[in-house]
Chain A
Amino acid sequence: MTSTFLGMPHAPRGVGQLRGDEPFPAAAHKALADRQLRRNLGHATATIRGKRARAVAELADWEQLRQAGEAIKAATMARLDEHLLSLEAAVTARGGHVHWARDAVEANRIVTDLVRATGATEVVKVKSMATQEIGLNEALAAAGITAVETDLAELIVQLGHDKPSHILVPAIHRNRTEIRDIFLRHMPGVDPDLTDEPRRLAMAARAHLRAKFLTAKVAVSGANFAVAETGTVTVVESEGNGRMCLTLPDTLITVMGIEKVVPTWTDLEVFLQLLPRSSTGERMNPYTSTWTGVTAGDGPQEFHLVLLDNGRTAVLADSAGRSALHCIRCSACLNVCPVYERTGGHAYGSVYPGPIGAILSPQLTGIEDNASLPYASSLCGACYDVCPVRIDIPSILVHLRGEHVEARERGLLPSAEGLAMAVAAWAMAAPRRFRFAERLLRLGRLLGRSGRIRRLPPPLSAWTAARDLPAPPAQTFRQWWRTRPGDGTR
C-alpha cells in the first residue's frame, strides 16, 4: 500500500529544506569537480569510520543492541498514537505545553508566535535537524527574530551563509583554513591574528557565543528522544552549547518529529549505547541532558514541546518504506557511503543527505519531488551494515526506484529507458531486423576511444552522463561464430 492511496499529505513545497534546486546527478557533477571538497570529505569520513569501528568493536553485544533498537522503533511506530498521547500527558502534568504541527508552515507559525509572546528578538539554538527541515531560521527572520546557531559547525555554516552538508558535522565540507577565513570575515570582534589551529578556532567560537548564552531569554532545540511514559526529553551533544541553551534561558521551545518518541525510560539504555558509538565513535558523547517538563528553580520555567508531522505520517503509511522513520540521526551511513564520500551532502539537496536522506527525503516530500535520490546509491549495502537500528536502506532504495518508475508510467511522457526497451523489443522480434541492428551497432566504434564511449547523443546521454559505455566489439557474436576455424558445417 502506498501513501498516495491513503492520501497522507507530504511535506509542503515552498518551505523548509527537503528539496534541492536541481536533481542529484547535476548537483553531484559540480561537487565532483571540487577537488578541495573531495579532499576534505575523504579525510573526515575516513577518520570517523575508523573511530566508529573501534568504538563498536568494544561491545560484545553490539548486534543484540541493534536488534533491540530496531524492535523498539518498530514497536513504537505500531502504536505511535498512544505513545504521543502518553508523552503529551506526562509533559503537561509536569508543567510543559505541547503543540501539534501538521507541517512545516504550522510548526514555524507556532514557534514564531511563542517567541513573539516573550518579546524576545533573538533566540539561541541547539543544532536540530527538525528545525532545519522546516526552515525555522528563515521563518523567524521574516518575523524580525534572529536565530543564533550555537553548535560550532552550525555557526560556521551560518556565518558563511552556507548550507549544512552532514547530519552530525554540518561543516564537514570545510577545512580549518576555510573556517578561519569565514571567522575572520564574518565573526564580529574576532582576533585578526586568528590562526587555523582547531583549538584557537573553537576558542573564538566560545568567546563569540558566551555573552549570548548568559543573556539569552529564549532557546530553541530539537530532541534526540522523548520518553512517552515519563515525558522526559533528551538532547545528546558534545560542546556544552546544548546545556547552555537548555539550562540558562527562561523559555525553551523544543521541536521534535513525532517519530522521536520512545515508549519507556529503559529504552534509552539501548539508544544511549547505539547513538554515540555510531555517531562520533565515542563510548559516550560529552553531554547528554534530560528534562521532564519544568523544574522549579532549575532551568527554563516555560517549556514548549512542538510535535511535528511534516510528511512523517506519509512515510508511516508505506509499510515497505516506513522504517526510514527509525533513524536516530547518527550519520554512520553517510560516513561509509562511497557516493556520499565523493559528492558530499549538498548534492542531495535536502537537510538529510547520504543513504538515509536518499530514502527519507523522497518519502517526506513524495517521490516526484526527489525522484533522483533513490538512484544516488550503488546499493553496496555498507549503510545497512553500520545502521545502529538496522534500517534496510538498500531495499527501501529499490522500493522507491520502483515507485518512481510506476509514477512515471502513470505520466504521459515515455522515459528514454522505456523508449530504448521498446525499440530493442521490436528489433529482436525478427532475425533480419536484429542483423541490421548489429550492423548499426558497429558504427558505435566510431564514438569510442580506447574501448570506451564517454558521451552519447540525447536521449542516450542520460546513460553516459554517469558512466562510460564499452565500445561495441569489431565483430558481432554471429560473425565470429561463422568464422570459427574448423567449423564449416553451417
Chain B
Amino acid sequence: MSARDEILNRIRTANGPTPAAVPIPRDYATTGAYATGAPELLDLLADRLHDYRAAVHRCTPDELAATLAELTRGWRVAVPEPLTVPGAVPDRPTLSHADLDGVDAVLTGCAAACADTGTIVLDAGAGQGRRALTLIPDRHVCVIHAEQVVQTVPELLRRLDPSRPLTLISGPSATSDIELDRVEGVHGPRTLIVVIVDGGVPAGPIVSTGSRG
C-alpha cells in the first residue's frame, strides 16, 4: 500500500465511519468601527505602523511625487513595473539578487492594508513586483492609498486573492530571540517607510509619482 493510502486509511480508521459534524461559531467581529475612507481609520493605521517603528508620512495625491522625491533623495531606488520614476532602476529585465542587494531602496505600492494590526499586503500585482524585489533591498518605501485600507484582519483577508503569492508586512523585520528584547531589522528590509495618501481621487492606480514620461 502506498504511504498516501496508508495514511488516509489510518485517518479513516481513527475517525470511524461517521465522524460527528462540528458546527463552527463565527460570532467574532468581522468588521470594525470604521469604514474604508474614514479619517479615523488612517489615523489608526498610522499609529499602529508607528508603534512598529515604521516611518509614516502622509500626503495628498498632489503631494505624492514631491514627498517620494524628498524621501528617496540621493538613493538608488528599484521600482517594479509599471512605475516610472526619474532616475530609478526598473526591475526590467529582472534584476539579479546581487543587483537588488546593491540598491539603496525599493519603492512600491501595495494590494491592501489593515489598520487594526498595521499590516500592509503585497500580492505581486502591478506596482508591487515579484517578491524578491521588496525583500533584498535594505529600505522599502511603500505607498498606501486611503481606499486600500480596511480595519480588521477578516476584512483584509476577504480582499485578497490566495492564488497570488502574498506577503503580509507589519513593520520592519524584527527579532525577539535574544532575551525577548525586540530588535528591528534583521534579514528583511531594516527600514520600512510608509506613505499614506489621502484626499481626492488618486491620480494613478498604484503609485502615481506625477512624473511619468
Q: Are A and B physically bound partners? A: yes
A residues whose Cβ falls under 8 Å from a Cβ of B: 3, 6, 8, 40, 43-44, 47-48, 51, 60-61, 64-65, 67-68, 71-72, 74-75, 77-81, 84-85, 94, 99-102, 106, 150-153, 156, 169, 171-172, 175-176, 179, 198-199, 201-202, 205-206, 209-210, 213-215, 227, 230, 232, 238-241, 243-244, 246-248, 258, 265-266, 268-270, 272-273, 280, 282-292, 295, 297-299, 307, 309, 313-314, 316-317, 322
Interface centre among A198, A201, A265 (most CB of B within 10 A): A198
The contact sample of 6 A-B pairs, CB cut-off 8 A, is A78-B20, A80-B15, A81-B11, A152-B178, A299-B131, A313-B10
Q: Which residue of A lies closest to B123 (CB)?
A: A290
**Is the CB–CB distance between A309 and B170 below 8 Å?**
no
Residue of A44, A84, A150, A210 touching B180 (CB-CB under 8 A): A44
Collect the chain B residues with CB atoms within 8 Å of residue A80's CB: 11, 15
Q: Which residue from B2, B28, B97, B169 sits with its C-beta under 8 Å from A287?
A: B169
Beta-carbon contact of B165 and A243 below 8 Å: no
Closest residue of chain A to B157 (Cβ to Cβ) is A269
Residue tally, chain B, CB below 8 Å to A? 72
The answer to whether B173 and A287 have CB atoms under 8 Å apart is: yes
Q: How far is the CA of A71 from the CA of B52 in the complex (A)?
A: 32
B70 within 8 A of A: no
Using a CB-CB cutoff of 8 Å, which residues 95-122 of chain B contact chain A? 97-98, 101, 114, 116-119
Within 8 A of A (CB), among B165-211: 165-181, 183, 185-189
Expressed in whole angstroms, the Cα–Cα distance for A43 and B163 within the complex equals: 42
The interface centre, meaning the residue of A71, A179, A201, A272 with most chain B CB atoms within 10 A of its CB, is A272
Instruction: Report B-chain residues with C-beta under 8 Å of the C-beta of A40.
Output: 179
Chain A contact surface mostly? helix
Residue numbers of B with Cβ under 8 A of A are 2-4, 6-8, 10-15, 19-30, 48, 52, 94, 97-98, 101, 114, 116-119, 124, 130-132, 135-136, 153-154, 156-158, 162-181, 183, 185-189
Whether B116 and A243, one on each chain, are in contact in the complex, defined by CB atoms closer than 8 angstroms, is no
- Contact: A102 with B172, CB < 8 Å? no
Q: By the criterion CB–CB under 8 Å, are A74 and B7 in contact?
A: no
- In the assembled complex, the Cα of A299 lies from the Cα of B164 at a distance in Å of 11
Contacts A81-B12, A239-B174, A292-B162; A205 near B186 (Cβ below 8 A):
yes
- List residues of chain A with CB within 8 A of the CB of B24: 68, 71-72, 75
Nearest Cβ in chain B — how far from A190, in angstroms? 15
Known: A238-B173, A265-B157, A297-B94. A290 touches B166 (CB 8 A): yes
Contacts of B178 on A, CB cut-off 8 Å?
152, 171, 176, 179, 198, 201-202
Residues of chain A within 8 A of B2, CB atoms compared: 100
Closest to A318 in B: B14
Q: Which residues of B contact A175 (CB under 8 A)?
A: 179
* Chain A residues near B175 (CB-CB < 8 A): 152, 202, 238-239
Measured in the bound complex, the distance between the Cα atoms of B183 and A430 in whole Å is 70
- Contact in complex: A244, B167 (CB < 8 Å): no
* In contact, B187 and A317 (Cβ under 8 angstroms): no
Indicate if the CB atoms of A248 and B97 lie closer than 8 Å.
yes
- Least CB distance from B182 to A in Å reads 8
Residue of B14, B132, B174 touching A6 (CB-CB under 8 A) = B14
User: Other CB < 8 Å A-B pairs besides A240-B188, A288-B167, A316-B11, 18 of them?
Assistant: A6-B13, A68-B24, A78-B20, A151-B177, A152-B178, A169-B176, A202-B177, A206-B186, A214-B136, A238-B175, A239-B175, A284-B117, A287-B170, A289-B131, A290-B165, A290-B168, A298-B132, A317-B10
**Whole-angstrom distance between the Cβ of B48 and the nearest chain A Cβ:** 7
Closest to A62 in B: B28
Q: In the complex, A84→B3 CA distance in Å?
A: 13
Chain B residue with Cβ nearest A282: B170
In the complex, which residues of chain B have a beta carbon less than 8 angstroms from the beta carbon of A244? 135, 187-188
Q: How far is the CB of A211 from chain B (nearest CB, A)?
A: 10
Residues A214 and B101 in contact, CB atoms below 8 Å apart = yes
Q: Which of A243, A244, A314 has the most CB of B within 10 A?
A: A243
CA distance in complex: A205, B100 (Å): 20
Do residues B130 and A297 form an inter-chain contact, with CB atoms below 8 A? yes
- CA of A214 to CA of B157 in the docked complex: distance in angstroms? 31
B170 near A285 with CB under 8 A, answer yes
Complex CA distance for A179 and B119, rounded to whole angstroms = 31
Closest residue of A by beta carbon distance from B173: A240
Is the beta-carbon distance between B19 and A78 smaller than 8 angstroms?
Answer: yes
